[in-house]
A and B are shown apart, each in its own frame.
Chain A
Amino acid sequence: MAKEFDLNEVEVWDGNYATSQALRQAQIDVVAAYPITPSTPIVEGYGSYVANGYIDGEFVMVESEHAAMSGCIGAAAAGGRVATATSSQGYALMVEVLYQASGMRLPIVLTVANRALASPLNVRGDHSDMYLGRDSGWIQIDAFNAQESYDLALCAFKIGEDHSVRLPVMMHQDGFTTSHKAQNVYPLKDDVAYNFIGDYKPVDEMLDFTRPVTHGAQTEEDWHYEHKAKQHKALMDSRQVIDQVFAEFKELTGREYKRVESYMMDDAEVALVLLGSSVESAVLAAKQIREEEGIKVGVIAPRCFRPFPYDLIRDELDRSSLKAVCCMDKSAPGGAMGALFNEVAAAAYTTDSRPLISNYIYGLGGRDFALDEAKRIMREQKAHADAGHITTNIQQFSGLRGPKLGFYETRRS
């Protein structure tokens, strides 16, 4: 039996440590992991809890991230509660196996400390790795600070393990800005946290010898399509379960989460849409610019990146007062508009209000996103709103040295 861990009402934890504590309280059976900056302390923490008797679990050291996720799949198919952590290049190496996990409907939790993808090699935070997994069939939830890392890691188990969902869940936090920044965190007591998640109820587990089962079967053109459609339906329908789990979490802790967080949107004339730790900067900038210059700015932050909250994003955008929206992507777009721009614009297109929507690429490789820059972008959105069309290139780059870089101009006038 695992020892109880003494916790204070308020702890000073960084995002990684908060996440590792959530993993401990979930009483995970197996962690198969390979270390990579900046996510290493998550699994390092789990390893120390195992070694010191705070958890009855198995830490499996493997030779790569591909093997780490493969080990997680084996353990999850056997019938265990399983989690691991990774970042960046490790995440990229895991990608092949991410699709296996979701296709096999195994509710593994992957805690990601977001980091840029090489080349050039870079350990700092951006959302390249998170974006890389967006078609992998996983639920992707984004934490903006250390408290949220802890809270959402607990929620991740409860969401993925729900029998109507049975999908793996990624809990993202920004590398360094969240993963390594110590903040006040209010943890739950061990038994309260565990009871919130509940006992793991396996499905088709391989260790049930009375019902032998094959996992990971091959299907060709005759069956593959039906299985992928069923998987997609489960992912789309997980929206209701995510809402339900967030509601139960609020009941327990008073801390409220929504699939789309929004700030000051009721009367907003312009809005920023963005993810991760930048959300808090944008909200602060919006508050200041409202006071200083009277520009009514709101902020929209998809807490849930997959399933993409098309429904709630559209609700936020469908306001007659809202004139201009800037979608900010912290990932190199690779020859297209940013993913957030594409998806938000598509959702907005089916509304009556159809605000002007432009795109900023920002923060690549951990480039700072400061309040002054956030306010400059807000002023620019206000100029779009006043002119009635986008007055700059549709896609621009924030905080980039050298000549101005931008692409495409609007055809609306």
Chain B
Amino acid sequence: MSRGVLATDKRGIRELGAEEKVGWDEVTQGVALNSFVGENENAAFLKAEERNYNDFSSYTATVASWRIIKPVYNRDVCIDCQNCWVWCPDTSIVSRDKQMLGIDYDHCKGCGVCVEVCPTNPKSLLMFNEASDNDEELANWPAKEKKVK
């Protein structure tokens, strides 16, 4: 997850050429989009990466191309409070067993809410230009701010 999908990777449905491949006779009836391939009785009990998502599920598709700035996550400062996980409007914060793992760059739109709600000092999430290098930004992470009395 250190780099993730970037907008410049052009991995959207259009970039993958799906619209070239699927004709009018092949699209689903009534624009009904099944989340999974076949039956998935226990989907609610499976982790997202274990589910058999359909190619047309928004989980499989990427909308990284919508983003112009991105959050970068610093594990060294994070206290796993889950604030960002709760507030993210696109469920793009990946957390397992209450431990923060990083950002789902396939679906993050770069809104910055996670940075806004992060309570640590310095923040564990900061916004950077989409094209910037995550490792470089992590190496230059700001220091703890002293409290001004």
Interface size on B, residues (CB 8 A): 21
In the bound assembly, the distance between CA atoms of A104 and B43 in angstroms comes to 25
- Interface code B76-92, partner A: CB below 8 Å = 1, 0 otherwise? 00000000000000000
- 0 or 1 for each of A221-240: is its CB under 8 Å from B? (1 = yes): 01101110110011000000
Complexed CA–CA distance, A230 and B31 (Å): 10
Would A215 and B31 be within 8 Å (CB), given that A222-B14, A223-B19, A230-B24 are in contact? yes
Scan A194-221; emit 1 where CB is below 8 A from any B CB, else 0. Answer: 0000000001100001111111110100
A96-B53 Cα distance, complex, nearest whole Å? 32
* Residues of B18-63 contacting chain A, CB below 8 A: 19, 22-25, 27, 29-36, 38-41, 43
Q: Is A105 an interface residue (CB 8 A)?
A: yes
Considering residues B29, B31, B35, B38, which has the most beta carbons from chain A within 10 angstroms of its beta carbon? B31
A166 touches B36 (CB 8 A): no
Give chain A residues whose Cβ lies under 8 Å from the Cβ of B19: 222-223
The chain A residue sitting closest to B26, CB to CB, is A226
Chain B CB count within 10 A is highest, among A105, A212, A227, for A212
In this complex, what residue of A is CB-closest to B18? A222
The reply to whether B30 and A166 form a contact with Cβ atoms under 8 Å apart is yes
CB of B29 within 8 A of CB of A223, answer no
Taking the closest CB of chain B, its distance from the CB of A126, in whole angstroms, is 32
Q: Please, how many angstroms separate the alpha-carbon atoms of A202 and B27 in the complex?
A: 19
Q: Are A229 and B34 in contact (CB under 8 A)?
A: no
Q: Determine the chain B residues whose CB is within 8 A of the CB of A166 once the complex forms.
A: 29-30
Q: Does A245 contact B (CB under 8 A)?
A: no
B13 at the interface (CB under 8 A from A): yes
Is the CB of A175 closer than 8 A to any CB of chain B? no
The answer to whether A226 touches B22 (Cβ under 8 A) is: yes
**Residue on A with the closest CB to B39?**
A210
Chain B residues within an 8 Å CB radius of A106: 30
Is A366 interfacial (CB 8 A cutoff)? no
Given A226-B23, A230-B25: A104 touches B41 (CB 8 Å cut-off): no
Give the Cβ gap from B86 to chain A, nearest Cβ, in Å: 23
Q: What residues of chain B lie closer than 8 Å to A229, measured between beta carbons? A: 24
A-B contact pairs, 7 of them (CB 8 A): A204-B29, A204-B32, A211-B34, A211-B39, A216-B31, A230-B24, A233-B25
Given contacts A211-B40, A230-B25, 15 further A-B contacts (CB under 8 A): A104-B31, A104-B32, A106-B30, A166-B29, A203-B29, A204-B32, A214-B35, A217-B31, A222-B19, A223-B19, A226-B22, A226-B23, A227-B24, A227-B27, A227-B31
